[in-house]
Amino acid sequence: MGSKETVNEKGERLKMERTVLCNGEPLQYQLHYKKVKNVNIRVASDGVVQVSASRRVGAAEVDRIVQKKAEWIARAKAYYASRSEEPQMPRVYATGEPVCLLGQRYRLRIELSDRDRVAIQGEEVVLFLRNPENESRRKKVFEAWYGGLCSELFQAAVKRVYPLFQAYRIPMPAFRIRRMKTRWGSCSPQKRAVTLNLYLAQAPVPCVEYVIAHELAHLVQPNHSPAFYAVLDAVMPDHRERKQLLREQKINCSGSP
């Protein structure tokens, strides 16, 4: 239907904003030109459709592929839209806001106290503060507590999962935690380092263990080949069920602290 093009200093196409018709409805997507073999389609957490393709592939051909994948794109967009409707973590750190931890839903409660601290009491996460009216302080104290808790939970999960790989004799990698919007974890085999998403702590324990196993398996097989999944099948036979459980959590990384 239409397009808007971005070029570099050499006049080479870098990105195009394109619109195609799918079942009579307009579908917008971003076409990025990269050194890739296949046409790759990804729906971001904000619903933006991003497509990467070689410069040798014509825009009309990419349009055809996008139209062919219209049903899958619609499902992905609906999935992200449903996730954003249900908050899992505080936005302004006020009493009554949700806190999700290991698949459990809690409610935040703010209390005046002579020292700053956080405690889980029943179905509540209580934020004790000397100055409860200060939103930035509420956020700082909560995030410090949440980050420390994530570290403890992930370390415990690593101790359970790493021995499953004993037959492969892989080295224990360095584990890091950071915020990620589109991935639960990543592995750098060359650096022997695994990074876990801070928001993964919202998921049930089996999901956390699955992500750790997935990243450790990359130390055995660095790609997603059949050999890689054979490793996962061997160390965690129910990894597919765990992955599905993780998908069902509807964790909204982009809307979390």
Residue 99's pLDDT is what? Answer: 93
Q: Is residue 71 part of a domain?
A: yes
Residue 186's beta-bridge partner residues?
A: 195
Strand ordering across the sheet containing 98-101: 98-101, 104-112, 124-129, 117-121
Structure token digits, residue 252: 């909204």
**Do 228 and 207 lie in a common domain?**
yes
Cα 10 to Cα 84: distance, rounded to the nearest angstrom? 40
The number of domains in the chain is 2
Please say which residue of 32, 56, 85 terminates a domain: 85
Please say which residue of 52, 85, 118 terminates a domain: 85
**Do 201 and 136 lie in a common domain?**
yes
**Do 232 and 142 lie in a common domain?**
yes
**Do 132 and 53 lie in a common domain?**
no
Q: Is residue 248 part of a domain?
A: yes
Q: Is residue 235 part of a domain?
A: yes
Residue 178's pLDDT is what? Answer: 92
Q: Is residue 50 part of a domain?
A: yes
Q: Is residue 165 part of a domain?
A: yes
Q: Is residue 38 part of a domain?
A: yes
Q: Is residue 92 part of a domain?
A: no
**Do 144 and 19 lie in a common domain?**
no
**Do 34 and 109 lie in a common domain?**
no
**Do 112 and 203 lie in a common domain?**
yes
**Do 116 and 239 lie in a common domain?**
yes
Please say which residue of 85, 106, 133 terminates a domain: 85
**Do 203 and 237 lie in a common domain?**
yes
**Do 117 and 209 lie in a common domain?**
yes
- Inter-residue contact 115 to 130 (CB < 8 Å): yes
**Do 127 and 62 lie in a common domain?**
no
Print pLDDT tens along the chain (257 aa).
544 544 444 545 567 889 998 888 899 999 988 888 889 998 886 788 999 998 888 889 999 999 999 999 998 888 766 655 556 788 899 999 999 999 999 999 999 999 999 999 999 999 999 999 999 999 999 999 999 999 999 999 999 999 999 999 999 999 999 998 878 999 999 999 999 999 999 999 999 999 999 999 999 999 889 999 999 999 999 999 999 899 888 776 644 43
Q: Domain with 211 in it: what CATH number?
A: 3.30.2010.10
The domain in which residue 8 lies consists of 2-85
**Do 68 and 120 lie in a common domain?**
no
